[in-house]
Amino acid sequence: MNSLKLIGLASAGIFASTNCALAADWTFSGMLREEVAVKLTDDQNPFNQAGNEYNGVAVKSTGLAPGTLTRPASQAKSGDFNMFATRLELNLDGKLTDDWAVHFKMRGISDQVGKVNDAFKDQNLFEQQYGNNRNAGGLGAAGKDWMLDLPVAYADYNSGPVWLRIGNQQIAWGEAMFFRVADVANGLDLRRHSGFDVAAEEFSDKRVSSLGIRGTYRVADKTQLEGFVQQFRPSVLPGANAPYNPVPAQFVIDQKTGYEKVKDEFNFGLRLQTEIEDIGIQAFAVRRNNPDGVLRWTEAQGKGAISGTPFATGTSGIYSAQEWFRYASLSRLDGVGGLLSALNQFSGTTTGPLAGAASFMAGACGASNSTPGAIAAGSAAASCILDTFFDPATGFGNLQGWLVREYPRENVFGFALNKVFSGEPDSITDQLIGRFELSYTPNKKFTNPTLSKDYIVKDELNFAFIAEKYHKFSQALPATYMVFQWMHKSDSDLFGRSLMGSNNTAGQVPNGKKNGSDYIAVVLQQPSPSLEWRFDLALLTDMNGGWFVQPGTKWKVNKDFQVDIYANYLRSGNNGKDFAEGYNYAREMFVRGSWYF
Amino acid sequence: MALIRKFGPDYGRRKFVSEMLAGALSVGVLGSSWRTFAASGDSRRAYPDELLHIEAQTKGRLQPGDIITRENVHLVSDLLDPVRIYQIRDLGRQLTLVQTTTELHRLSPTAYLEASLRNAGKAKFDAKGNVVTQDGKSWIGGNPFPDPKNATEVFAAHTLSWGRHESCLYAVKEYDLDPLGQVQFQYASGWAELSSVERQTNSLNPAVTAALKDKLRLQSVFFVSPTDVRGVAYLNIWPYDQNQFPELYGYLPAFKRVRRFPTNQRFEPLIPGSELYLSDAWAAGDPFLTWGNYRIVQRGPYLGAVSGGWNAAHANWEHKTHGGPKGNTFWDTKVELVPEAIVIEATPVGYPRAPVSKKLVWFDARTLLPLAMVSYDRQGQIFRYFDGSFSLYDNGTARVLVGGGQPYWSWSAIHAFNVQTGRMTRIEQVREVAGGHSTRVNDPNIYDRYLTVDALQRLGT
């Protein structure tokens, strides 16, 4: 007999057998949190209509008709808050038997930032239609300023070396923090606080849960084989005009078409973990639809659509060539190539009713080739064509561009190593952990900076070196936790954009970036002696002028309350190269007050 | 007449002092405590009455059933460590006296005692300082030095087998109090141990046993409440070589995955508010060769909580409290006269930046079980204090049985007290915590469910 039995001799009965739970054991817990982010700058999000850099700015037209083009000043709105949210999380955990357990988490968010910041008044912060679901395809529901979902809804089965997790779940692989080299199973949902939450919390609130089965078989003490099958779920970007929207709101993105094509697809993954001679080793392979997706021009639809083109008229489009080029540069797109793709790859301007007009305009603007379907132009001619289109007298007025998001199938292969170095006590190598992660994606498709239907295809290599250490600088304080990370990506930037769009000057074809992109991250954490306080500093740079610095503190007030105060500071060299360009608006201080129950 | 003087009231103390001065350790006063137990199952014959009865020790002024308070603590001040005297005098701690327990099977798990008897004389230290069998293999169960001759043997043996079972899962509740007696933090957790040397049931499959060949123990801790730490879990894998640090794997809900962590920071709490450090576990939380300069600094009778710690009256074995500003700083504790305690000093030679300069650990000489620990800061001031209570989970009317029908023996409650700040952490072993994690022992499922890397992930949220 291997279990404990409590036997009351007086009553001569078995009170309980602790080896086998005969009745379900349920636990309920939760958290209520207020989250407020206050801007430390007057800058508004330039990707939104309200923060557009050209609101009220008269721009001299370079089109065929002289004059100025002005985006209405009335679109400019401002405010001091980026977030004003209340979050409720409820957890229900049940142990059904010794082998089976179930876990649920319901997450509800209400962000009333539109009530305190005019720029977000009545804007849609959460609702995104994917298929028949307004919560971006996930288990849950969403409205303009609220969302309610079930990020956790799974059953665990464990018997001996076998473990199965069945249901809606996140899968996180790899050991690098923040850098997603091996963490390739799930996409990210960036609707709430985008990537600006506490850096040390990584992506736990963002990784997109999905229905699936994850299984692990422990072959030996430190060797286990793991596999998963999981329904495809895309990454979710903040909506147009939401506080942290990263896509120019002059675009309309068709999320539905691409999603419908792959919504029934499944992702598969296999991972082997073991240890040889004190070196931890992982090897993995994943077949998936890239959750981040790729974008290309698509034919505009609905009210205002110009038939056979990716453009639609309205009031929230681009008003001038200068604005076009500026936002192309901010988004690491090719403004000139983007125009040519739009003109040469759609029937409306190649064989349709606008073919002649486009060809005429191209010729009149000095394009090197004005043949419909083969129009070629340099910067000046492209600017002329654009302004002629945007001029209400000669063209259509402001134009919205339509994009479609697609999710190509791809294979990701990789491995990871880790080793704990055991140097002399108190030396730099004393318990220093070194990690290396690498992933390789052959024939990976990237958004073409021209937004052409011909995606860029490259074999992408992504790797990271990580050094991690606790070091005690003082006997009076607990050890300082220090992490240093370097990540290299061969063909894309931090956000997964092709490097062909980097080195981007407005109005010019991007020079691109050779030799890949590199990022350095440093994390420091210093707890107080009782761990009630923790002081954090996270730093990220691309060494091209982009910086993200996040100092902050967590205060565990008592068993029920916690207060977090952090600041986000972003700085860009504004040189068309770095990751932080356009993100001045996210310089903010955010405060979270959490009540746990 | 000479005989009468020899075994008079101070005979035991005089023997302890004389042996201390001679630098010798021979546990027992009238004979070897261990050999007396081996012969009779009882250690009574190894000690004179003065060391077995509190009435004799205090010349009739105290007896079992009495409560030690600030009013009468002076009567037993030489039977207590300095921190407990301070706690009783200044903080209102009380101790209830009970009769001395002399049957060793009530003071240690029977299987552990049997293994100690079976394997007596088979242990030695190898060239690296590790305990091995005479043919150089890993130890084979029980106490390798039940009749110790020096401080290192005492510490090495205890570090080898903390809980004295093959495997355990302790359901644990923790209360962290500020100096005003306010419960600031409250945690529920599970603490699992699996010893590779205590093979009492041979319940592990051969593959796992083979994987543990060069390991001493697996030990994990995971938290089930409150919400903000729910799912935090750590796994320590101890190499057999006590010169090496354990490997530490952790699951933090923020990361959603198991990561390998550095493990040399052992003088810090794992969770906010706690005064319990990794280094404190069983007063021997670090590989014993990362500490050094072991020496015996004191021997003599001591008031230890070696029995009666189990609160069977509570359905979940939870304990009552008393003392301190709000009457909740200390567990209600029963103590008895332990005839011989060995106080061992050690210094953290492998931790140059440790906030601790040395520790003193009180061991029951009969069982070599740690009863209390005082650590000192780098300025030589008393820093932290750690005392535990133990019990056979059998009070005559209720009992908890383990494999083989033997009553369960284990620790029942712990104080971890920061003398310099006045912060107290109270920890108790309970029957069950949220999530259906119940205390269990020598259960082969403990390995799969609590002591593997995938278990950490599964226990996480």
Determine the pLDDT at residue A242. Answer: 96
More confident position, B353 or B239 = B239
Chain B residues in contact with A475 (beta carbon < 8 A): 353-355, 377-378
Residue A323 reports pLDDT greater than 50: yes
Chain A residues in contact with B457 (beta carbon < 8 A): 216
Q: Are B275 and B417 in contact (CB under 8 A)?
A: yes
Q: How far is CA B87 from CA A30, A205, B70, B372, in A?
A: 37, 45, 9, 14
Write the residue in A201, A420, A422 that is nearest to B254 by C-beta.
Answer: A201
Q: Which residues of A186-214 are buried (b: 16+ CB within 10 A; e: fewer)?
A: bbbbbbbbbbbbbbbbbbbbbbbbbbbeb
Average pLDDT value for residue range A462-483: 90
CA atoms of A247 and A402, how far apart (whole Å): 12
Provide the shortest C-alpha distance from residue A109 to chain B (in Å). 18
pLDDT band at B7 (very low <50, low <70, confident <90, very high): low
List the single best residue of B173, B268, B289, B395 to mutate versus A (max A Cβ within 10 A). B268
Q: Are B289 and B130 in contact (CB under 8 A)?
A: yes
Provide the shortest C-alpha distance from residue A40 to chain B (in Å). 27
Chain A residues in contact with B244 (beta carbon < 8 A): 422
Average pLDDT value for residue range A161-168: 96
Determine the pLDDT at residue A13. Answer: 29
Residue A87 reports pLDDT greater than 80: yes
Provide the shortest C-alpha distance from residue B210 to chain A (in Å). 9
Determine the pLDDT at residue B43. Answer: 77
Strands (E), B204-355: 215-225, 233-239, 247-252, 257-261, 292-304, 321-322, 330-331, 334-347
- Tokens describing residue A38: 């206050």
Determine the pLDDT at residue A5. Answer: 42
Residues A11-44 have pLDDT tens digits of 322 223 333 334 578 999 999 999 999 999 999 9
Residues B356-408 have pLDDT tens digits of 999 999 999 999 999 999 999 999 999 999 999 999 999 889 999 887 788 99
Residues A216-253 have pLDDT tens digits of 999 887 899 999 999 999 999 999 999 999 999 999 99
Provide the shortest C-alpha distance from residue A483 to chain B (in Å). 11
Residue whose C-alpha is closest to residue A109's, from A33, A16, A210, A218: A33
- Tokens describing residue A67: 């004059």
For A3-28, give the secondary structure using H, E and C: CCEEEECCCCEEEEECCCCCCCEEEE
- Tokens describing residue A267: 């992702």
CA atoms of A442 and A495, how far apart (whole Å): 18
How many helical (H) and strand (E) elements, i.e. helices and strands, does chain A have? 7, 27
Q: Which residues of B411-431 are buried (b: 16+ CB within 10 A; e: fewer)?
A: bbbbbbbbbeebbbbbbbbbb
Chain A residues in contact with B441 (beta carbon < 8 A): 2, 4
Determine the pLDDT at residue B208. Answer: 75
Residue B345 reports pLDDT greater than 90: yes
For residue B276, what is the nearest residue in chain A, using CA coordinates? A530
Residues pairing with B346 in the sheet: B359
Q: Dihedral (C-alpha) B157, B162, B168, B173: value to the nearest 10 degrees?
A: 170
- Tokens describing residue A230: 């999981």
Residues B47-62 have pLDDT tens digits of 888 899 999 999 999 9
Q: How far is CA B9 from CA B6, B58, B59, in A?
A: 9, 10, 9
Average pLDDT value for residue range B260-281: 86
pLDDT band at B259 (very low <50, low <70, confident <90, very high): confident
Residue A450 reports pLDDT greater than 70: yes
- Tokens describing residue B344: 């061992």
For residue A221, what is the nearest residue in chain B, using CA coordinates? B211
Provide the shortest C-alpha distance from residue A574 to chain B (in Å). 33
Residues A116-148 have pLDDT tens digits of 999 999 999 999 988 778 888 788 999 999 999
CA atoms of B120 and A597, how far apart (whole Å): 52
Determine the pLDDT at residue B404. Answer: 73
Residue whose C-alpha is closest to residue B55's, from B45, B47, B67, B64: B64
CA atoms of A290 and A261, how far apart (whole Å): 13
Residue B2 reports pLDDT greater than 70: no
Interchain CB contact of A408 with B (< 8 Å): no
Interchain CB contact of B206 with A (< 8 Å): no
Residues A411-448 have pLDDT tens digits of 999 999 999 888 877 788 888 999 999 999 999 999 99
Residue A519 reports pLDDT greater than 50: yes
Q: Are A576 and A502 in contact (CB under 8 A)?
A: yes
Residue B9 reports pLDDT greater than 80: no
Determine the pLDDT at residue A3. Answer: 38
Determine the pLDDT at residue B266. Answer: 85
CB burial of residue A466 (10 Å; 0-12, 13-18, 19+): buried
Chain B residues in contact with A151 (beta carbon < 8 A): none
Instruction: For each of the domains in chain B, give its residue range(s) and CATH number, in order of start.
Output: 1-461 (2.50.20.10)
Query: What is the separation of C-alpha A444 from the centre of its chain, rounded to a whole number of angstroms?
Result: 18
Region for A136 from its dihedrals, namely left if φ exceeds 0, alpha if ψ lies in -120 to 50, beta otherwise: left
In three-state secondary structure terms, A567 is strand
Q: How many CB pairs below 8 A link A and B?
A: 210
Residues B278-299 have pLDDT tens digits of 899 999 999 999 999 999 999 9
Residue B6 reports pLDDT greater than 90: no
Radius of gyration for the alpha carbons in chain B, expressed in angstroms and rounded: 21
Torsion B442-B448-B454-B456 (CA) sign: negative
What is the residue whose two structure tokens read 């001493």?
A: B216
Give the A window 348-367 contacts with B, CB below 8 Å. none
Neighbours of A164 (CB within 10 A): 18
Determine the pLDDT at residue A327. Answer: 97
Interchain proximity A27–B440, CB inside 8 Å: no
Average pLDDT value for residue range A540-554: 97
Q: How far is CA B211 from CA A49, A108, B214, in A?
A: 62, 45, 8
For residue B226, is the peptide bond before it cis, meaning its omega torsion is within 30 degrees of 0?
yes
Provide the shortest C-alpha distance from residue A289 to chain B (in Å). 22
* Prediction ipTM score: 0.81
What is the residue whose two structure tokens read 């690498």?
A: A438
* Amino acid identity at B380: G
Determine the pLDDT at residue A144. Answer: 95
Average pLDDT value for residue range B141-161: 94
CB burial of residue A347 (10 Å; 0-12, 13-18, 19+): middle
Determine the pLDDT at residue B37. Answer: 81
Write the residue in B377, B443, B449 that is nearest to A2 by C-beta.
Answer: B443
Residue A10 reports pLDDT greater than 80: no
- Lowest-confidence segment of A30-34, B28-32, B328-332, B420-424 by average pLDDT: B28-32
Interchain proximity B247–A25, CB inside 8 Å: no
Chain A residues in contact with B198 (beta carbon < 8 A): none
Q: Across chain A, which distance is largest between two alpha carbons, in Å?
A: 105
